[in-house]
Amino acid sequence: MQDPLSDIIHAASITGGVFLESNFTAPWAIYSHITPEDCATFLDIPAHVIAYHVVTEGRVFLKVNDSAPIEVNAGEIILLPRNGKHVLASRPGISPADAEEFILPGGDGKLAQLNYGGGGETTKMYCGFLASEFSQNPLIMTLPDVIKLDIAQDTAKDWIETSVQFAAVQLSKGQLASSTMMSRLSELLFVEAIRNYSENEQATLSGWIKGLSDNKIGHALTLIHTQSDKSWTVTELASEVAMSRSAFVERFTSLVSAPPMRYLTVFRLSSAKTLLRESNRTIAEVAHLVGYESAVAFNRAFKREFGVPPAQWRSNR
């Protein structure tokens, strides 16, 4: 069975890569903020950026906006879903320098490098981004400012650790910096971080993730994601999860922050964007695959949601 968490991330066109190798020696502190323009080397300027850092040696203290510092050690990954302005430092309280002043451009396809510090204890990390063309993605809006993933403790430790180690070796050779593999690795790390967060933060979950964690609504979401081409009605979805129509609508809307049919429409059209971008299927074929009985109805819904018909959207891309 397909994974609705992976599906919604893929449908939201979340992609990414690694763009900077950072080497620090204590004491050090830098101010960092990845802008959409920083991603322009790899892809079209995105509507939303998620920053992430993979710490491979030493430790770092991360401070986002006015929050308390978070300690991050080797083997841990930090993601900033809201791309908050942040300070990275060898210890709290050090006045930060602007990271951009110390970045050396990468030549011959190699990663850019940031080397900075006072000559003491070493910290090494890779800095990357995930980008989405949707500025109001329902999943991202439910996430906290920072998510920390410990690959030494996570159930997916083996594949994450192997992937990161392999990527680190290739990156040191100037390879994979903007490749499809790095994009896929970034996406998988994001999926695993969210899965880890959802499993360990049950009491504070909200929005789409909370809906996915609910037994009945999670099942409804899985049906929508795995059978979006089916002509679902609210009554049919409610029946599939053994709930009355009214109770289902109320519970779904409360957890997911959107009524069932609205959520289905947005998911279908987001999936259509992926097909339009990544395949050569005709508009009629895409319409059928995402659950519309006619190309006319699909064109009307697509234009209402995104402002242009699907053919023009594809041409613009």
| pLDDT value of residue 1 | 45
Residue 209 in domain: no
CA–CA separation, 124 vs 253, rounded Å? 44
Asked whether the beta carbons of 276 and 302 are under 8 A apart, the reply is no
**Which CATH number fits the domain that encloses residue 247?**
1.10.10.60
What is residue 201's three-state secondary structure? coil
pLDDT, average across residues 5-32: 78
Cis ω before 81 (30° cut-off from 0): no
Residues 193 and 243 in one domain: no
Residue 88 in domain: yes
Residue 94 in domain: yes
pLDDT above 60 for 122:
yes
Instruction: Give the chain's domain count.
Output: 2
**At which of 143, 177, 203 does a domain end?**
203
**At which of 156, 179, 203 does a domain end?**
203
Residue 111 in domain: yes
pLDDT, average across residues 171-199: 63
The model's pTM: 0.65
**At which of 175, 203, 231 does a domain end?**
203
Residues 82 and 107 in one domain: yes
What is residue 17's three-state secondary structure? strand
| pLDDT value of residue 203 | 43
Q: 132: pLDDT confidence band, cut at 50, 70 and 90?
A: confident
Q: 150: pLDDT confidence band, cut at 50, 70 and 90?
A: confident
Residues 107 and 244 in one domain: no
Give the residues across from 123 on adjacent strands.
Answer: 24
Query: What is the percentage of the chain residues whose pLDDT exceeds 70?
Result: 70
CA–CA separation, 226 vs 234, rounded Å? 16
Residue 261 in domain: yes
Residue 92 in domain: yes
| pLDDT value of residue 58 | 94
Residues 139 and 262 in one domain: no
Q: 151: pLDDT confidence band, cut at 50, 70 and 90?
A: low
pLDDT above 70 for 234:
yes
270-278: which pairs have CB atoms within 8 A and are 24 or more residues apart?
Answer: 270/8, 270/11, 270/12, 270/13, 270/134, 271/11, 271/228, 272/298, 272/302, 272/310, 273/11, 273/13, 273/306, 273/313, 274/10, 274/11, 274/13, 276/310, 276/313, 276/314, 276/317, 277/13, 277/314, 277/317
Give the residues across from 86 on adjacent strands.
Answer: 32, 64
| pLDDT value of residue 136 | 53
Print the domain residue range for 281.
214-316
Asked whether the beta carbons of 134 and 48 are under 8 A apart, the reply is yes
Compare 75 and 14 and report the one with higher pLDDT: 75
